[in-house]
Structure 1
Amino acid sequence: MKSKIFLLSLCAACYEQPEQLDPYDVLNATVEQVILPDLDTFKRTAEDLKENSVLFCQDPSQGRLQTLQFSWKGGKKMLKTMELLSFGPYNFGEIDVSRRLDNWPERGEGIEDLIAGDQIIDTTYLQSMNRADLSLGYPALGYLLHSDEEAEDVRIGFQDERRCSYLMVQTELNMEIVNEFYQAWSPQGMDYASEITQAGKGSSSFTSPQEAIGGLLQSMNRLVLHMADLKLAQPLDMGRRDSVEAKYSGSSLKDLHDNLDAIEKLYAQPSPSISDYIQAYQGADVDVSILDGFSNVRSVLDAIPEPLSQSIVDEPQKVAELIVALEALSDVFTNDAERFLMHAPHGY
């Protein structure tokens, strides 16, 4: 009788064991709850920006300018979110988000030169530009919409028809590139999203769901290092205020916040998330290290005064502390997270 009770208790214990977390559930949630909705927002903000540029040039009032600047900020936020997806379609030759949409820092000398010229400003002309003194994409708009400290001077500048032409053509070109990027990911388009959700089941990019999760973690780490090395260390070492990401719009620190928000969102927001996956397979300490890393970076970032272009001169130690915090977070991704994935269960 005792043996039967013992066996029944063992059986009950078996049923009480938590179910394993299927990595495909994590990948599907990540794509459906974060990546695709963010792509929808990216597309919508580009369309809004194009529409508001036309409305502003039809009626260049201060109110229209403020609406346009607000639209640009929304689009730029989503661009910084998409910076996390710097693989696959991001680098397709016909899309090339980094070169065609995110060609920072904000540089205006070449833009002013083109506006002062007599060449017809259209999408073909702007696409052909390859000048070191000229920004493309959202940084170009960042310059155009903040080229003077006084908003009224910015507004008056757009009384020049060629300046408005440049503005409208750049927003049109942005929208075209964003739409191409959107279609590349969309299940109704080229469906790159299925490369992630079907990892190990026909995906040409990932041979297993664990590899896809690892790829997403690597993308997070790349952006962390990009923030540390290019967006902070480079301008700090050079001591040049004009080498920060967004000098004219003064949004360099906000861009870093948006990058960090995107990383944390992709890691922890879906249900179930990559964070849940790591916890489910005895990686709670790794998960805590990553989440603590996010908090530490955010705390140090919050302590840097706006704008970054001034802080690299006035508060170099605080900028250096942020670089250290980002490098520490990168170490967690590179060492702890990768080591965890090497021992994560396979077989799905």
Structure 2
Amino acid sequence: MSRRSLIGEALASVPSEPSATPAPETPATPRPNFTNKRLEAFGEAARIVKRPTIRLKPAECSIWPGNARDYSMLDEFRLRSLIDSILAEGGNRVPAVVRRTPGGPLPYELVTGTRRHWAISWLNTNHYPDIDLIAIIEDLDDEAAFRLADIENREREDISDLERGLNYKAAVDSYYGGVQLRMAERLKISKSQLSRYIALTEIPPFIVSAFHSPMDLQAKYAEKLLPLLRDGSARAKLEAAADQIAAEQSFRRSGDEQPITGPEVLSRLVQSTTTKGRVQRATIVAPRGDAIGQVEKDQQKVLTLSLSPSNLTVDEILEALRPVIEQAKMRSTRRR
């Protein structure tokens, strides 16, 4: 289903009101670039529900928490091109979507358009107080608002897979009764794609910190990392490797060097679980002096026993293992 159809479906249940102004003549077909496609889609959405645009100040809007974008992560550097574009145009060409909040602290709540809201708010406080936020008012419940915001966010490359995953995880419980299939059908995406995003939220912070940015942590990485994280021995190795990589990332940032890329971080993490590193070996000797096997201890102090007891009895084998086990216990006690 096309993005235009998805927007129409998200807004289809909204009752229409007669427009206060006649519809403008249809302009010539613009060049099909990113901005024009979004203008066309939002223009059609506005015609479907017959809502005129309004002008308001960003200070009149609270930010709906159901949007995937983390508003606190926006800054002038990330939005510089958008700020310049809005300044050149005298406003945002693509309307934001707001809904009324009767009895709320502010008159409106912003459903889509967080970047536009931030950029115009920044301009208002930096010498351009007359620039307004152009918006469309919609009467949306939370589920419809979520779907509308998701449609817009899918085109955005500056929203991380982790942000999407956290947003989807909250939404599946809040709006779809915890049923991922129901949510996937409503969003018109595959269940496997939805599952990958949600699975990414199980990645612990110590793994996330190994990546230069959450943007580098892709949804597909969860398929390789989660099985390893569920294994106790592998998890310890992952944590040690992640700490080392995070320290290297910090060092590179301080020296203005290129960061370790996402694929390289993933590769190093996975390899850390298969590399034993320095291994200590010792022979296991039976009471009669026969060598019956070998014990190995890796860097994580994990013991691996290899036995070839031949004709020894069970009691003789256990007697040979006793000093190995006691020595390991003594070392463990000293470490505590």
- Larger-gyration structure (1/2): 2
Q: If each structure's helix is expressed as a fraction of its own residues, which one has the higher value? A: 1
Greater relative CO (CA pairs within 8 A, separation 6+)? 1
TM-score by length of 2: 0.27
TM-score by length of 1: 0.26
